[in-house]
Amino acid sequence: MPRLYAVGVGPGDPELMTRKAERVLRSADVIMAPVSNPQEASVALATAREVLDETRQEIILHQFPMTSDKSRLLQAWHEAAALIAARIEAGQVVAFITIGDPLFYSTFIYLLRIFQASYPRIPVDIVPGISSINASAAQAMVPLVEGDERMLVIPATGGLDRIRVALADCETLVLLKVKPVYAEILELLRQTGREQAAIFVERVGSDRQIVLTDPDDMARHKPDYLSLMIIRCSS
């Protein structure tokens, strides 16, 4: 039956895709992958490529620009929705692929809202994926939470004040999007005595994966956009 699938392909390791994700991707007629820049490769597409048949399936790379200009973003999302809706109305099954999970800090969330408002008759199914947080914890062999502990997840771009408060208010803090304020985060960890409790993970699940636990190594490193930090505040 024609429909839209949102498929989380995990953090970057093809072996971390679920069996359901693989089944849906193999059977779909159209695959759409988001990119922020047309010259850049899609991590989601690279992760899923080995289960795709590009001689049969249509592959669409659609640009969603990295900008705070809401008018540009809205235009990109409506264009993507229209492309998908046209193919579904023509009887095709479309899979929109995203790294991690489709409903966890994902670009698909905005697209879902458009479909719910403008294309309510088109069926939408969500296929969950393993997040970079789970994969990073596994690579670093660090427990995220246990017992009655609490975990907070914060985009580091939300500001150092939020991070400072969180460090004192939970047992585990996960910081996403650390690149823009990386040096400031390291200094805050030093000031609060948390530098030994932090783990830095970059490009988890890929051949470019980096896991750092030593503060000096972190200080020397220049982070990639796809990076995060796990801080065990209770340790």
| pLDDT single digits (tens) 110-135 | 999 999 999 999 999 999 999 999 99
Matching residue, tokens 């988001």: 34
Q: How far apart are CA 229 and CA 152, in angstroms?
A: 12
Domain of residue 102, CATH code: 3.40.1010.10
13 and 29 fall within a common domain:
yes
161 and 75 fall within a common domain:
no
pLDDT in tens, 92-102: 999 999 999 99
33 and 20 fall within a common domain:
yes
3-state secondary structure of 101: coil
112 and 141 fall within a common domain:
no
Domain of residue 196, CATH code: 3.30.950.10
pTM for the complete prediction?
A: 0.91
pLDDT in tens, 201-229: 999 988 899 999 999 999 999 999 899 99
109 and 16 fall within a common domain:
yes
| 31 φ/ψ angles, rounded to the nearest 5 degrees | -120, 125
pLDDT of 65:
72
3-state secondary structure of 103: coil
pLDDT of 21:
98
Longest Cα separation, the chain: 59
Domain ends where: 85, 106, 127? 127
With beta carbons less than 8 A apart as the criterion, state whether 1 and 123 touch: yes
136 and 178 fall within a common domain:
yes
Instruction: Find the domain containing 159 and state its range.
Output: 132-232
Q: Which segments of the chain does DSSP mark as H helices, in order?
A: 19-27, 43-48, 70-89, 108-118, 132-140, 160-167, 182-191, 215-220
9 and 112 fall within a common domain:
yes
Matching residue, tokens 């309510």: 120
- Reported as a pLDDT band with limits 50, 70 and 90, residue 234 is low
Q: What is the mean pLDDT of the chain?
A: 93
Q: Is the pLDDT of residue 69 over 90?
A: no
Q: Is the pLDDT of residue 141 over 60?
A: yes
152 and 38 fall within a common domain:
no
The mean per-residue pLDDT over the stretch 78-88 comes to: 96
120 and 148 fall within a common domain:
no
154 and 228 fall within a common domain:
yes
pLDDT in tens, 11-55: 999 999 999 999 999 999 999 999 887 777 899 999 999 999 999
Share of the chain above pLDDT 70, in %: 98
Rg, the chain, Cα only: 19
pLDDT of 123:
97
**Domain count within the chain:** 2
Domain ends where: 127, 150, 169? 127
With beta carbons less than 8 A apart as the criterion, state whether 92 and 27 touch: no
158 and 120 fall within a common domain:
no
